[in-house]
Amino acid sequence: MKKSVPKNQSRELYKFFPFLMIIVFRFSILNAQQLVDKSVFSKIDSLTKSIENKVIEWRRDFHQHPELSNRETRTSSIVAAHLKRLGLKVETGIAHTGVVAVLEGNHPGPVVALRADMDALPVTEEVNLPFASKERTTYEGKEVGVMHACGHDVHTSILMGVAETLSKMKDKLRGKVKFIFQPAEEGAPEGEEGGAELMSKEGVFENLKPDLIFGLHTMYAEVGKILYAPGPTMASADNFSITVHGRGSHGAAPWLGIDPIVAAAQIVLGLQTIVSRQADLTEGAAVITVGTINGGTRHNIIPDYAEMTGTIRALNETTRNLLHERIKNVSEQIAKSFGATANVEIQNGYPVTVNNKELAGNSVKLLKSILGEKNIIEITPKMMAEDFSYFANKIQGFYFFIGIASPGTPADKIEANHSPRFYVDERAILFGMRSLAYLTVNALSDKTK
């Protein structure tokens, strides 16, 4: 027989109802932030620590033997061999030298992709390390040094370590992990295609489309720090060239010709007003930079033409399109005012890298709960560019940065990416492996995917 509750007791219980609801709500929020039992994170810590030295050795080997974009044959062969030893399904030769592997968990679930880039830069290393690069090659017709001056050796090694770690946890994994080792992030050589754009064209997501993708990058911040931006994170990057056609004459009699150098100088100044006076900077930053300007052969000859090239950066597509339109218009009209003409060519490059806000928010909550709130830092978007954007335009993506500077290093002593003195404190490698593995197992445990 059902026992009734006295009226006065039910009133007392009713008083506590709002407090019970608060407890339930807080529990549900906590559960949404962290979907995995803490013991799994402890397992990740143990496994990554056990292979830390091996992963550092991989990094040093890659650093000592860097390869330029679309030429990462040695690097990709080492990566592929490692993934095959782990028993993963491996594909090679994607976008020239790309490697893709799939790890299948023991339980059904979502598909999570992880990406690392493998290429180096035409930079001569100046860091005094026992494994410093001595490599040299020909780049755009010039003999150059080759160096991992942007940390791609670190990214590749970290992802190899994450693959080994997760392969030893198959019994705890739901779904699948797709490891993408990408060539040519720094841009394909002249006349070639490459990078994430070519991997996308060749169907990297067609056979097994991920639900989401994570990527990381080294950054000039202290080891142990993670930096991120919700929404737009890195800018689009387009190139432009402008040729100003005038009419040559003697430098002593400029009125007998049309001076393209003076017109070009005015165009350089005019381009800056596009950003400062025509772009809505409250919607996101923008940059137009003229990087080269050339014209003439002798001090007293006004040439027929002058040429300039530069870069265009924006943090949203509306501003990006506006800059393209206005660069053409401003250049042509200024040239016309001098009696000259301007031919403008714009070459589209990487799109804006945009973090999915919901995924970024959930990822940040998880990382804060494990690594500490003070170590997860929101930053403003950066005007550098990343072809991770091609992947993040197709599926939800979260791209974040890990610090690589030794604690206590003065800010003015930290060398930026692409510097010949770029240096990585290798303690960042263990931190990067753990961060990426935490996010992956947590995402795999999301049964809503």
Scan for tokens 């990408």, then name that residue. 182
Collapse the DSSP code of 323 into the 3-class scheme (helix H, G, I; strand E, B; otherwise coil) and give the result: helix
E-strand spans in 142-254? 142-145, 174-182, 212-222, 226-228, 231-234, 236-245, 249-250
Contact in structure between 386 and 271 (CB atoms under 8 Å): no
Contact in structure between 328 and 322 (CB atoms under 8 Å): no
- Helix, strand, coil shares of the chain as percentages rounded to 5? 40, 30, 30
How much is the pTM?
0.90
Render pLDDT for 343-366 as a digit per residue (tens, 0 to 9). 999 999 999 999 999 999 999 999
Domain over 236-350 is classified CATH 3.30.70.360: yes
Residue 27 has pLDDT above 60, yes or no: no
Give bridge partners of residue 86 from the DSSP assignment: none
Q: Is 31 exposed, middle or buried (CB count within 10 Å of its CB: 0-12, 13-18, 19+)?
A: exposed
Cα separation, 79 vs 70, in Å, equals 15
User: Which residues are designated catalytic?
Assistant: 350, 426
Q: What is the pLDDT of residue 78?
A: 98
Cα separation, 217 vs 402, in Å, equals 6
Q: How far is CA 305 from CA 77, 102, 240, 331, in A?
A: 48, 54, 17, 14
Q: If you ran DSSP here, which 8-state letter would residue 279 be given?
A: S
Render pLDDT for 230-249 as a digit per residue (tens, 0 to 9). 999 999 999 999 999 999 99
Domain boundaries, the chain: 33-234+352-444, 236-350
User: What number is the average pLDDT over the span 174-179?
Assistant: 97
The reply to whether 236-350 shares the fold of 33-234+352-444 is: no
Q: If you ran DSSP here, which 8-state letter would residue 383 be given?
A: S
**CA 11: distance to chain centroid?**
58
Cα separation, 265 vs 445, in Å, equals 58
Q: Which of 185, 184, 176, 180 is nearest to 204 (CA)?
A: 180
Residue 216 has pLDDT above 80, yes or no: yes
Q: Is 399 exposed, middle or buried (CB count within 10 Å of its CB: 0-12, 13-18, 19+)?
A: buried
Scan for tokens 């950003």, then name that residue. 275
Q: If you ran DSSP here, which 8-state letter would residue 288 be given?
A: E
Cα separation, 80 vs 62, in Å, equals 14
Which of 23-27, 90-94, 170-174 comes out lowest in average pLDDT? 23-27
Q: What is the pLDDT of residue 221?
A: 95
| CATH code, 33-234+352-444 | 3.40.630.10
Q: What is the pLDDT of residue 17?
A: 43
Residue 335 has pLDDT above 60, yes or no: yes
pLDDT classification of 5: cutoffs 50, 70, 90 = very low
Residue 77 has phi, psi (to 5 degrees) of -70, -35
Cα separation, 402 vs 360, in Å, equals 15
Cα end-to-end distance, the chain, whole Å: 44
Residue 448 has pLDDT above 60, yes or no: no
Cα separation, 444 vs 440, in Å, equals 6
Cα separation, 57 vs 370, in Å, equals 27
pLDDT classification of 37: cutoffs 50, 70, 90 = confident
Which of 22-36, 59-73, 329-343 comes out lowest in average pLDDT? 22-36
> Are β-strands 212-222 and 396-405 bridged in parallel, bridged antiparallel, or unpaired?
parallel
pLDDT, the chain, mean? 93
pLDDT classification of 212: cutoffs 50, 70, 90 = very high
Q: What is the pLDDT of residue 19?
A: 43
Cα separation, 338 vs 225, in Å, equals 53
Helix (H) and strand (E) counts for the chain?
Answer: 11, 18
